[in-house]
Amino acid sequence: MCGDKTSKIKYRILIVDDEKMIRLGIKNAMLWEKMHIAEVYTASCAREAAELIRKYQPEIMVTDISMTEMSGLELIEQIRRENKEMRVIVLTGYDRFEYARQALQLRVHDFLLKPIDESELQKSIMEQVNWLERHRMKQESSMTLSRAQGVRQQVELEEFMRSLVLGREDSGERTEVFLKEFHFQESGEMRIGILIPGVTGEEDPDSEGFRLQTVKHICIGMIDEKKRGITFLDEKSRIAIAFFCDEGRKEEELVEQLMAILTDELETKPRVIWGSVKKGINNLWISYNDAVFTLEHEREEFEKLCTMNWNRKGEDIFQDVFREFRNALVCNVGDKEKIFHIFERFSVAMESYNLSAKYARSCCFELASSVYFARFSDTGSSADEKLSVLMQALSGADRGRACQVTAMFLESLFEGEDGEVHELIGRVKRRIHENLADDLTVTSLAEQYYVTPNYLSRLFKRVTGEGCNEYIVRKRIEQAKSLLATTTLKVGEISIMVGYHDMNYFSLAFKKHIGMSPMKYREQVQNGR
């Protein structure tokens, strides 16, 4: 029970009203601590409210119905698509059945008339808190009861995923169970990522096994439990993740968050090897094979070229420093300025540690080859003679000369790049402009120009300052605005012409960027407002 004194303050509430006096009045009048409310947020409009909801995920919202730009009911309709469990209390100055009917359809939990009675509002908020407490306790009880069963289900799920990515699983009963459990469309897009935890230097198999399970459970907590994908061990005990790709391609953002957590937890630099985006779970094996090929090709090339061995003895202390520099270079492989800044710091560090010439040569070669593979595995370029030439140039070099040779090698990797990059991005932009009605994605564009999606995304952002997907959406909305203003075409027709085959989704995207519906925008433009 929420009234139990041992209960912790844990809930968040959002107050939405375009009248400042009402917002502040509610915020200052309620005894939030007694109601077990930890955080109180306020918003003056629906757009601001939507941003706060995405950022802070409040469990309760109190909102006015009548607001400019977007009504409270429209706001509720929008957030219900993402947050079905939020408790909503509606405030209105109008005692109209139509509002109440709409509110019920949107699963509003209480409907209060203005002027607000503080005791009524407090009672309503307490009812929502009590419901949340009961729901939480029910969930905790359910999780406890199903824990043993959950282990068995996880084993079965992983076995199913291994069969799927190896091409052994056909559409059938197990696939139907999978689709139902994860609320995922059979024709939806998926993508495999193979997670490489990073090197710890530990040789104890038990320690490595424990670390692997730790990483897997962190992935399950961040991805599986949020219904964003499925984590499993492949047949070689590598951590593989099948991501559900949404319209915004948010899987890479999710992985960035995951990498940050794993870096803190493991004190290593993990990374993900991506497969291609494929439509339909029965094509997931193609994405998996893409990722495996990239991983194994990278490893084969690296092992073939990195043949230098050294006596590490006193140089073991430099290993942690070296790893940090190598990871920093790989992570910034698309930024020439940062690459040379990091390498300059590395050169200073080698002098400080007074490394032997042999060891310095080995470190320089490994750094250079890591940058090489990070850049050219993305573009599809095969290994050429550059690394062999570098190895010959390093032969017999002292520490200072090794750094000079490596710096020249890094410089050569960037020669003539700017013009080529701008030409590529120019072609991609023209392709987008000319084909807005098509199913444009970073993946489809990358395939047309024989580069990987990751590489194209990095280049596009670097050259334009804008993400590729964001650019596509912006151009589609701009074209839609032009068509709405200059033609009599129906909204549904315009929606298809700019690449949105779902008119409802088009309307939502348009309203998000312009602040009003397509029909309202046309009305304003035609009326000269």
| Residue at 299 is within a domain | no
pLDDT at 497: 92
Please give the pLDDT value at position 315: 60
Evaluate whether residue 159 is within a structural domain.
no
pLDDT, tens only, 426-464:
888 999 999 988 888 888 887 777 666 766 777 788 778
Q: Report which of 58, 15, 13, 67 is spatially closest to residue 35, judged by C-alpha positions.
A: 13
List CB contacts of 351: < 8 A, sequence separation 6 or more.
399
- The half-sphere exposure of 249 on its side-chain side, counting CA atoms within 13 A, is 18
pLDDT digits (tens, 9 = 90+) for 9-53: 589 999 988 888 888 888 888 889 888 898 999 988 888 888 888
Chosen domain end from 93, 120, 138: 138
* Chosen domain end from 415, 448, 475: 415
Same domain, 45 and 19: yes
Q: Residue holding tokens 């209060």?
A: 112
> Does 205 lie in the same domain as 259?
yes
pLDDT at 313: 45
> pLDDT value at position 132?
86
Read off the tokens for 204: 């104890």
pLDDT at 61 over 70: yes
409 and 434 belong to one structural domain? no
Can you give the pLDDT at residue 2? 41
Q: Which has the higher per-residue pLDDT, 178 or 303?
A: 178
Give me the amino acid identity at 365. Answer: F
What's the half-sphere exposure (Cβ side, CA atoms, 13 Å) at 233? Answer: 14
User: Is there a single domain that holds both residue 102 and residue 196?
Assistant: no
Handedness of CA 223, 224, 230, 233 (dihedral sign): positive
Q: Tell whether 506 is covered by a domain.
A: yes
Please check whether residue 149 lies inside any domain of the structure.
no
Judge contact between 47 and 71, C-beta under 8 A. Answer: no
**Same-domain pairing of 355 and 259:** no
> Is residue 193 domain-shared with residue 233, that is, in the same domain?
yes
Q: 33: alpha, beta or left, given left = phi > 0 and alpha = psi -120 to 50?
A: alpha
How far is 136 from 81, CA to CA, in rounded Å? 21
| pLDDT exceeds 70 at position 381 | no
What does residue 11 show for φ and ψ, rounded to 5 degrees? -100, 155
Q: What is the DSSP letter of 93?
A: S
Does 247 fall in a domain?
yes
Domain co-membership, 274 together with 319: no
- DSSP letters for 94-117: ---HHHHHHHHHTT-SEEEESSP-
| Residue 360 pLDDT level (bands cut at 50, 70, 90) | confident
pLDDT in tens, 199-220: 654 445 556 677 787 788 888 8
User: Helices 46-56 and 72-80 sit at what angle, rounded to 10 degrees?
Assistant: 30
Q: 229 in helix, strand or coil?
A: strand
Same-domain check for residues 131 and 111: yes
Contacts 24+ apart (CB under 8 A), 482-486: 484/518, 484/521, 484/522, 484/525, 485/522, 485/525, 485/526
157 lies in some domain = no
Predicted local distance difference test score (pLDDT) of residue 311: 39
Side-by-side strand order, sheet with 87-92 = 37-43, 11-16, 60-64, 87-92, 110-113
Instruction: Report the alpha-carbon distance of residue 11 to residue 14 in Å, rounded.
Output: 10
Structural domain of 384: 306-415
pLDDT at 332: 75
- Are residues 483 and 438 part of one domain? yes
Q: Which of 138-142, 220-224, 231-235 has the lowest mean pLDDT?
A: 138-142
Q: Are residues 132 and 180 in the same domain?
A: no
Report the CATH number that the domain containing residue 125 is assigned in CATH: 3.40.50.2300
Question: What pLDDT is stored for residue 144 in this prediction?
Answer: 47
What was the pLDDT predicted at 513? 87
Does residue 448 belong to any structural domain of this protein? yes
Amino acid at 177: V
Question: CB neighbours (10 Å) of residue 275?
Answer: 26
The top-scoring range by mean pLDDT among 70-79, 254-263, 270-279, 468-477 is: 468-477
Cα gap 220→525, rounded to integer Å? 49
Other residues' Cβ atoms within 10 Å of the Cβ of residue 417: 13
Higher-confidence position of 304 and 475: 475
Question: Residue 331 — very low, low, confident or very high, per pLDDT cuts 50/70/90?
Answer: confident
| C-beta separation of 132 from 4 below 8 A | no
Give mean pLDDT, residues 192-199: 82
User: What's the Rg (C-alpha) of the chain?
Assistant: 28
Nearest to 437 by CA among 470, 476, 467, 469: 476
Whole-angstrom Cα distance, residue 461 to residue 468?
Answer: 7
Identify the bridge partners of residue 436 per DSSP, sorted by sequence position. Answer: none
Task: For residues 205 and 256, state if they share a domain.
Answer: yes
390, 415, 440 - which closes a domain: 415
Whether 400 has a pLDDT exceeding 60, the answer reads: yes
Q: Is the domain of 442 the same as that of 343?
A: no
Predicted pLDDT at 452: 66
Q: Where are the beta strands (DSSP E) in 114-251?
A: 189-196, 229-233, 239-244
d(CA 400, CA 357): 9
In angstroms, rounded to a whole number, what is the distance separating the alpha carbons of residues 271 and 255? 9
The number of beta carbons lying within 10 Å of the beta carbon of residue 140 is: 10
- Which pLDDT belongs to residue 479? 92
What is the number of domains present in the chain?
Answer: 4
Q: What is the mean pLDDT of residues 79-86?
A: 73
Cα–Cα distances in Å, from 76 out to 50, 189, 443, 503? 9, 28, 33, 19
Residue 503 is part of a domain; what is its CATH number?
A: 1.10.10.60
Q: Mean pLDDT lowest for which of 105-109, 395-399, 508-512?
A: 105-109
- Domain CATH number, residue 248: 3.30.70.270
Whether residue 154 lies inside any domain: the answer is: no
Q: Mean pLDDT, the chain, as a whole number?
A: 77
Tell me the pLDDT tens digit for each residue of 99-147: 555 555 566 777 777 777 888 899 999 989 988 888 777 766 555 444 4
